Structure 1
Amino acid sequence: MNESLFNPFTISHPSAIQTSLVSGASFARFDPSGKLLVAGRPDGSGVVWDLDTRAAVRWCEGHVKGVTAVEYVHSQSNHPAVSIAHTCSWSRNSRFVLTASKDWNIIIWDLASPSDPPRRHATIRFDAPVVTASFHPRNSRIILALLSTGEAYIVDLRSTHRGRFELGGEDEGDEKRPIMTTARFDPTGRYAFAGTSAGTVEVYNVRTKMLVGRHRIAGAGVIKGLEFANGGRRLATNSSDRTIRQFTLPAYPTPPEPHTTGESSKLSISETELEPTHRFNDPISKVSWHGMSYSPDGEWLAGGAADKAAHKIYIWDISNDGQFASALDGGREPLLYVHWHPRGPRLASTTTQGDILIWHCPSPERWGAFAGGFEEADENVWYEEGESEFDLEDEVELAHRKKLQEDEGVDIIGGIDDSQPPTTANEVGLPDVDFEWADEEGELDHKDWRMKLIMVDGEEGY
């Protein structure tokens, strides 16, 4: 499969539907390469689509109930109501697909296996329905899972660290602990963020499983979703007050080793109230949001509206002070989820009827771009020839000038700004204990893995 090439300097936002995939799914997510797309279905199966051929290439059938995530909506009772959606997760190099289900199981599928459905790499069972789960960004053997009971666990499948660790399970206090409503790894994999029903965001160090930060978001209510821009410094939250907020995250202290005694762990917790840099909402219809997603460069934010009568996606320009850019209309079928392509201006959104809409940014063909130095003319004009424009040039002088250009030094690094001093241990070349811990025992998801394609007529290929 040839990967589509995108110019990172001309990335814009999608504006039109390119194609529609009839998948019967309520959740769809691009893989990190942007070549594949996985869809979660209510019947418990997951479907892997090849975006180049627009064909289903793998069926992950193993759950007895729907592949699920959870979305918490506001209610008048002490506990938030639950609305079921569907989710899957990709490993870093797309070899493994994770599906979580209401049947209390997480299944990790190996797409490098030659069979269809793919071989089960691992099955993790809990004591309650699993509402969302995801891979660690650096190691597919580390899983973050959220249960319907409001508990979040880090599951480590490595032999030297094997275990199931509850986040916040050792917290003590007189006040009743709020339940966790959403949980995400940050893009670096150093922290796990959890939104709660009390309108707070808790930050845990993944290596030590210790709480390093707690942020209160004024007026937010129940935190329904978390989304990070690439790099992990910007966080967007979706809450029950029907407002998407963007924050710039502070630096968190390095916690002590786990199971140490003393007061040092309590003193290292950063408890602050985050002040949003931007607020996004629909001031007219006051709709809530089913999902949100950043563009690869972090300059655009898409929000899927929970409109019961239309399929609406709102896009804001983060680079232009968060100004509203456009609203995409996908018809009368309501939206369930939205995800931005990891490499360019494309979106995937799902409808209540199970269709997956692929959005793109159409660009008109400019034939003048095929001839360097020429420009397109809107109408016929008289061309005035320059005095020496078509004169023959001395071949010896031309060859000498080309040789001088070839001898010039080439900056193969380019773009590195040495004016700003490094701020982290990783940038100055020092070891990072969190990254070293995550990289232990290696990663099975190598870049050189290949997926066997099984054709309808029985033929096989790669």
Structure 2
Amino acid sequence: MNDSLSNPFSITYPTAVQTSLHSGALFARFDPSGRFVAAGRNDGTAVVWDLDTRAAVRWLEGHVKGVTSVDWSRHSRFVLTASKDWNLVVWDLASETDPPRRHATVRFDAPIASAWFHPRNSQIMLVLLASGDAYVVDLRKSQRSRVELCEPQEDEDEEAQMHRPRSAITVARFDPSGKHIFAGTSTGSVLVFNTRTKTMVGRHKIADKISAVGSIRGIEFAKSGRRMVTNSTDRTLRQFSVPTYSDQWCLECEIEPIHRFNDPITKTAWHAMSFSPDGEWLAGGAADPAAHKIYIWDIANDGQFANTLDGGREPLVYVHWHPSKPAIASTTNLGNILIWHIPVQERWGAFAGGFEEIDVNVEYEEREDEFDIEDEEEMAKRKMKEEEQEVDIAGVDGGGAQPNGVRINGEHDEDILWADEEPDEDMEGWKMKILIEDDQDGI
């Protein structure tokens, strides 16, 4: 066991910076394929970077104020940008123009703090305004609506309403299945809404005897949907097991954190956090004003601290884990995007069987039969035997799995299948056309 822990090839989280993109970004997020990164900028534009070529392939120019959030549809065709200019824009990357064609524009009456696509249908969006109001926007022709998410008050008496302060929503996210919406509030509680009915099915108070929770600043889910982590103003990240919900919602149900993550020495706050694709690691972006630090915790090993990644002196403002690989995109306060990876030392022994790496020169002794020509009949028999071996081409059973890797239990769940009615145009297999600018200085 000790050998496996010390083996560097068993490390499945990034440890070094592979490349830096000078983007002027406020934050950056991988697309579901992991090939592209979308960065929101303070000048109202968003940039799509191709990580294979390290080049900007699309400029999304449609806002007049800073971009506050960026999200991708499940097959990366559509990009959702929200801005302080009160507008929400859906961009179609399948268009052959730069900037891409606007697929839809939705305007609100306040600056937008964040916006997210529904995991199963990009025509359904979750929008949080800077005023603390959250809306579900449905652009489908048969379901077109804009519904505000509100806490029900009719079951409480007047005295209870007076003593319980109004909770402004500070963060709102879909769960990976899209069935529920989780909203953190300024009073430290978590509200849960049914996405289809827009009704509240749970209100949770975080039970923590060590410190007061304060306002919730962020919510993230593991890809499986069974784990949730929150970021609060008390400078603590808390992980919870996501409960199941029925039609009867619990007015005041306490939930206890499974793990608590913080910096006991510097008591630093956190800008963002992100789970690894397998949910075994958690990355926390520290709000250190003098350094760029990412803390890594081993969720599979009882949440133990694993490592601190140092990205230099440009403070960190955002962090996002690659959807399928051990890679992280972190954004600095100067707008640079750092792509972290696992540095792998070349092992020449992997290119040929029996090849042995040595540190010093040694005299080679040739075997007597080393260069003998192998009998062709024996070679043919060996190849036939190898071909007869069964190969598992199906791999792990993917029944009930979605394109983003989320496994859904209950194929006939009305609250989940509701989003599949009138599907969007984000079909699997589409290709983005790479645009090459004309050389204006050419002859």
Q: Same fold (TM over 0.5)?
A: yes
Could you tell me how far apart the structure 1 residues matched to 2:86 and 2:398 are? 49
The 10-residue stretch of structure 1 (107-116 or 10-19) with the greater mean CA deviation from structure 2: 10-19
Say if 1:116 and 1:417 are closer, same or farther in 2 by CA, change over 3 A: closer
| Matched letter for residue 433 of structure 1 | E
Q: CA deviation at 1:375?
A: 3.6
Q: CA deviation at 1:228?
A: 0.7
Could you tell me how far apart the structure 1 residues matched to 2:309 and 2:428 are? 35
| Matched letter for residue 136 of structure 2 | I
Could you tell me how far apart the structure 1 residues matched to 2:368 and 2:255 are? 66
The 10-residue stretch of structure 1 (243-252 or 163-172) with the greater mean CA deviation from structure 2: 163-172
Aligned to 2:295: 314
Describe the superposition over 1:212-254 as per-residue Cα deviations: whole angstroms up to 9, x where unpaired. Answer: 222211331111100111111000110111011111112222x
| Partners of 2:133 and 2:168 within 8 A in 1 | yes
Aligned to 1:55: 55
Describe the superposition over 1:59-106 as per-residue Cα deviations: whole angstroms up to 9, x where unpaired. Answer: 1111111112xxxxxxxxxxxxxxxxxx21111111111111111111
Q: Percent identity?
A: 64
**For 2:67, what is the secondary structure of its paired residue?**
coil
**For 1:225, what is the secondary structure of its paired residue?**
strand
| Partners of 2:172 and 2:183 within 8 A in 1 | yes
Aligned to 2:165: 176
Aligned to 1:22: 22
Could you tell me how far apart the structure 1 residues matched to 2:408 and 2:100 are? 37
Unaligned runs of 5+ in 2: 1-8, 400-406
Could you tell me how far apart the structure 2 residues matched to 1:46 and 1:133 are? 14
Aligned to 2:42: 42
Could you tell me how far apart the structure 2 residues matched to 1:370 and 1:409 are? 25
The 10-residue stretch of structure 1 (118-127 or 317-326) with the greater mean CA deviation from structure 2: 317-326
Query: Which residue, 186, 191, 210 being the options, matches 1:197?
Result: 186
Structure 1 segment 396-415 matched on structure 2, within 5 A? 396-415=377-396
Say if 1:411 and 1:146 are closer, same or farther in 2 by CA, change over 3 A: same
Query: Which residue, 126, 138, 151 being the options, matches 1:156?
Result: 138
Could you tell me how far apart the structure 1 residues matched to 2:219 and 2:419 are? 22
| Matched letter for residue 370 of structure 1 | F
**For 1:368, what is the secondary structure of its paired residue?**
helix
TM-score (norm 1): 0.83
Aligned to 1:209: 198
| Partners of 2:177 and 2:408 within 8 A in 1 | no
Aligned to 1:262: none
Aligned to 1:101: 83
| Matched letter for residue 229 of structure 1 | A
| Partners of 1:11 and 1:345 within 8 A in 2 | no
Aligned to 1:76: none
**For 2:225, what is the secondary structure of its paired residue?**
coil
**For 1:133, what is the secondary structure of its paired residue?**
strand
1:133 aligns with 2:122: no
Q: CA deviation at 1:206?
A: 0.8
Aligned to 1:239: 232
Query: Which residue, 412, 416, 438 being the options, matches 1:435?
Result: 416
Query: Which residue, 65, 68, 93 being the options, matches 1:111?
Result: 93
| Matched letter for residue 32 of structure 1 | P
Could you tell me how far apart the structure 2 residues matched to 1:227 and 1:309 are? 26
Could you tell me how far apart the structure 2 residues matched to 1:351 and 1:145 are? 26
Aligned to 1:74: none
**For 1:363, what is the secondary structure of its paired residue?**
coil
Describe the superposition over 1:348-367 as per-residue Cα deviations: whole angstroms up to 9, x where unpaired. Answer: 11111111122221111111
1:341 aligns with 2:341: no
Could you tell me how far apart the structure 2 residues matched to 1:160 and 1:193 are? 25
**For 1:33, what is the secondary structure of its paired residue?**
coil
Aligned to 1:75: none
Q: Number of aligned pairs?
A: 414
**For 1:453, what is the secondary structure of its paired residue?**
coil
Say if 1:397 and 1:58 are closer, same or farther in 2 by CA, change over 3 A: closer
| Partners of 1:211 and 1:269 within 8 A in 2 | no
Say if 1:186 and 1:385 are closer, same or farther in 2 by CA, change over 3 A: farther
Could you tell me how far apart the structure 2 residues matched to 1:353 and 1:130 are? 23
Aligned to 1:421: none
**For 1:34, what is the secondary structure of its paired residue?**
coil
**For 1:313, what is the secondary structure of its paired residue?**
strand
Q: CA deviation at 1:269?
A: 3.6
Q: CA deviation at 1:379?
A: 3.7
TM-score (norm 2): 0.87
Could you tell me how far apart the structure 1 residues matched to 2:362 and 2:257 are? 54
Q: CA deviation at 1:162?
A: 0.8
Q: CA deviation at 1:458?
A: 6.4
Could you tell me how far apart the structure 2 residues matched to 1:157 and 1:272 are? 34
**For 1:202, what is the secondary structure of its paired residue?**
strand
RMSD between aligned alpha carbons? 2.5
Aligned to 1:6: none
Aligned to 1:220: 213
**For 2:25, what is the secondary structure of its paired residue?**
coil
Q: CA deviation at 1:389?
A: 7.6
Could you tell me how far apart the structure 2 residues matched to 1:408 and 1:268 are? 54
Query: Which residue, 337, 342, 348 being the options, matches 1:361?
Result: 342
Could you tell me how far apart the structure 1 residues matched to 2:390 and 2:12 are? 33
Structure 1 segment 315-334 matched on structure 2, within 5 A? 315-334=296-315
**For 1:132, what is the secondary structure of its paired residue?**
strand
**For 1:232, what is the secondary structure of its paired residue?**
coil
Describe the superposition over 1:145-166 as per-residue Cα deviations: whole angstroms up to 9, x where unpaired. Answer: 0111111111000011110111
Could you tell me how far apart the structure 2 residues matched to 1:427 and 1:385 are? 61
Say if 1:373 and 1:440 are closer, same or farther in 2 by CA, change over 3 A: farther
